[in-house]
Structure 1
Amino acid sequence: MAKDVKIEQLWIPDSLEAPDAADFLAAVEVGRKVRMQTWGSDDLAYGPLEKLLEFADPYERQLILVAKVDGEIVGTVDIALPLTDNLDLAEFTLDILPEFQRQGVGRRLLQAAEQLARNEGRTMILVDTNHPGASLHEFERAQLVPGSGQGFVPLESREVEFAQRTGYTLQHIEQFSSCLLPLDSKLVADLQAEAEDANNGRYRLHHWTDRCPDRWLEAVAVLENQAGADVDPSLQVPVEQDMVFDGAILREAEDVAIAQGRRTVVTAVEHLASGALVGLTTITVLAHRADVVFQDDTLVLQEHRGNKLGLLIKVANMERLTEQFPDARVIYTWNAPENRYLLTVNQQLGFRTAGVTGIWQKELPHLRTSNS
């Protein structure tokens, strides 16, 4: 058990150069070291400026609690409180330096975070655990399957044991994959030919970066809403509700991404006969790290599947990404393991499984108030 663990809320400085920024920089470094330990690289770690910009997000309030031993930060828990929907929800990201794991630091931080969330009126907590591909083979004998959907996490891993001991239930699995960039030009030509052959001139591609053209704005909102309705509700994490999109909400989301320095590369596909947008795919480039990019949503409406549109738009978008951001060397994506359609497309493009993320849930008792 670590001696004299002090839990306190992290002060968020106005800038990284401010004299009071030292603790903030140390907290971000804890996250980087934990990701190095988990994945063998810091590709998935926030840079300090990226993290600082997150605190201006109008859609969620961010807080960080830190654990200190002898004045040094040895663990952090990021707390995200959604502000527009899911107002009963808090999402935690817990990071403990490798040399302070299994010493009670994580439990102390988690209890403090749960207390804070409860004081904010949040009763549903989500927390995730990350498991690299190699550990899945190592622990293959003992598997824990989620409450909904497919996949498993290794039952005997430290993170899974900790989540279960602290009262969390495994709700859902996300498969995590990576693909090296740029794509091989022969592969691109072959895949484009295959996709074009399947859709037989019935569709047209449209591209934009950062801002959707006015002419497609409402069409994208309709597509987002329809695609949300297409998903089998039994595969969703129960507390996640789909936002209803309109043009104003999409413009606001673009403004937030731009304010955070993020770039967004989009390819959409139009069904020529109806003039409707029926598919869309998005890649996000972070503000302060051009070499690592993230594949976000890929949507294709149910009635247009089977025409290789997912393949068509993803190949085109990855090619555009390489033209606009030639420093990008790897792209990461998360998918539900039951989404065979997208996983097959990703495999064709060269994505390889890097691991899985387990999403865990815990319901906190409601606080009784003197007025009730």
Structure 2
Amino acid sequence: MTVEVRTVDLPDAADEVGERGDRFRRHHELAIRVADARYAPGVLDLRPDERLAAWASSPSERHVRLEAVDGDRLLGAADLWLPMQESTDVLDFGTASDPALDAAEARAVHRTLVAHVLAMAEAQGRIVVMGGSPGLATAAPGSAAIAASTGFGAADPADAEAAPLVEAGFALEQVYRVSLVDLDALPDLPERLAAAHERSAGYRVVAWEGATPAEHRAAVRALHERMSTDAPVGDLALEPEIWSDERLAEFEEQKTRGGRTIRTVAAATPDGELVGYSRLFAGDSDVARQHDTLVVREHRGHGLGMLLKLANLAELATHHPRHRRVTTWNAEENRPMLATNEAVGFAPIAYEAVWQRRQSKEQS
């Protein structure tokens, strides 16, 4: 097997006729197979136009899709995300291989993709490179698993995705837990939401669909900025983000491109200050994706995390009754949020490891 890496020229539309459209649709099918094997069938389903929107670049982040091929056979792919406003010395990427490959073939594909990504990072002056692989909840005693620097979670260094990262000098910084909740298993959701309101007395919930209303835009921009500083990131070299109104508009437009809907709930003080929020993305699949959930530090300890989670699930059940399941990603060291998720009914379905390699400017 000979592995060649090429940059993918994405089409303007998912149904575009011609080589670009045909290639994109092959990548879309590969992404489905990879997600089904990694998580569970249907959990991360996207329509082609939703996936094309997810792979689009923006003023704040440039996306590059690579493919690993052997002649006309698509063996695997990589997604590269290059921040364009903050953390501009960072390149974040993930690799994937066709689940039909055997272990040796998969390792060769990932190793070739990692080498190509590192060369691109060096050429573009991106001295901090972050990569991903499957993770583990814990490192079993006596096992060869590598523990994350946070002390929570681990990864198998022999995994086909992880091995090339270990070989290239990456350190395991963080592990994320991927969790799923089924609304059909929450028949008492209205009662639990009422109890959460009682516990969070003095705060009220504000909810909306789609773009943030004008009266809340400044507050939501501030919450996005706090998400970049208050959420745990371990030792990942990420800078605080600055959110202008243009950046918020671009973010919301991209997330709703392809037919997806944003549902947002926020916690407000009696004087109307927004001190926390939770957002869900609902697309064509019956599985919605939990995005950010944040309660600013000054207002923690009042049960607002639980209130926001339950309120958004109730909003989803009311306005999108076909969406019966929700996925969420949380850092394994974020025990308060994980405890909230577990109490809501989320259960783990996978773990994702985040690796990082720093290279000095002199070395690059």
The structure 1 residue matched to 2:267, chosen from 258, 269, 273, is 269
The unaligned stretches of length 5 or more in structure 1 are none
Name the counterpart of 2:338.
343
Question: 2:308: which partner in 1?
Answer: 313
- Partner deviation per Cα, 1:204-233 (whole Å, 9 max, x = no partner): 11111112222222222333434544456x
AA aligned to 1:252 is E
Indicate the residue corresponding to 1:92 in structure 2.
Answer: 93
Residue 155 of structure 1: how far off its partner (Å): 4.5
Does the residue aligned with 2:91 lie in a helix, a strand or coil? strand
* Residue correspondence of structure 1 range 12-23 to structure 2 within 5 A: 12-15=10-13, 16-20=15-19, 21-23=21-23
Distance in 2 between the 1:145 and 1:257 partners?
34
| 1:45-56 → structure 2 map (5 Å cutoff) | 46-53=46-53, 54-56=55-57
AA aligned to 1:88 is D
Q: What is the match of residue 256 of structure 1? A: 254
Compared with structure 1, are the counterparts of its residues 42 and 101 closer, same or farther at alpha carbon in structure 2 (3 Å cutoff)? farther
For the 8 Å contact 2:285–2:323, the answer to whether it is kept is yes
Which runs of structure 2 are paired with 1:86-165 in the superposition (5 Å)?
86-98=87-99, 99=101, 101-103=103-105, 104-131=108-135, 141-165=143-167
Residues 1:139 and 1:64: Cα distance change in structure 2 (over 3 Å): farther
With over 3 angstroms needed to count, the CA separation of the structure-2 counterparts of 1:227 and 1:6, relative to structure 1, is: closer
Deviation at 1:27, TM superposition (A): 2.3
Q: Report what 1:328 is aligned to.
A: 323
Tell me which residue corresponds to 1:295. Answer: 290
Largest Rg, 1 or 2: 1
Shift of 1:268: 0.8
Q: What is the aligned partner in structure 2 of residue 77 from structure 1? A: 78
Q: Check whether the contact 1:222–1:246 (CA below 8 A) recurs between aligned residues.
A: no
Q: Which moved more, 1:139-148 or 1:248-257?
A: 139-148
Contact map agreement 1:153 1:160 (CA 8 A) in 2: yes
Secondary structure of 1:13's counterpart equals coil
- Match for 2:277 among 280, 291, 316? 280
Letter in 1 for 2:336: Y
Instruction: State the alpha-carbon separation in 2 of the partners of residues 194 and 63 from structure 1.
Output: 46
1:76 Cα offset (Å): 1.1
Distance 2:70 2:141 in 1: 32
Equivalent position amino acid for 1:310 in 2: G
Q: Following TM superposition, by how much is the alpha carbon of 1:249 offset from its aligned partner in structure 2, in angstroms?
A: 3.1
Residues 25/252 of structure 1: CA separation in 2 closer, same or farther (3 Å cut): closer
TM-score by length of 1: 0.86
Provide the secondary structure at the position in 1 that maps to 2:161: helix
Deviation, structure 1 residue 267: 0.8
Is contact 1:199–1:309 with CA below 8 Å preserved after alignment? yes
User: Is contact 1:155-1:161 (8 Å) kept?
Assistant: yes
CA distance in 2, matches of 1:314, 1:38: 25
1:352 aligns with 347
Displacement, 1:352? 0.3
Taking the aligned partners of 2:89 and 2:139, their CA distance within structure 1 comes to 36
Give 1:243 deviation, angstroms. 0.7
Distance 1:364 1:47 in 2: 38
Q: % of aligned pairs identical?
A: 25
* Residues 190-269 of structure 1 mapped to structure 2, 5 A cutoff: 190-200=191-201, 202-226=202-226, 228-231=228-231, 235-269=233-267
Aligned residues: 358
> Quick one: which of 4, 7, 27 aligns to 1:6?
4
Q: Which blocks of at least 5 consecutive residues in structure 2 are unaligned?
A: none
Going from structure 1 to structure 2, the CA distance change for 1:170 and 1:45 (only over 3 Å counts) comes to: farther
SS state of the match for residue 261, structure 1? Answer: coil
**Aligned mates of 1:17, 1:61 — CA distance in 2:** 22
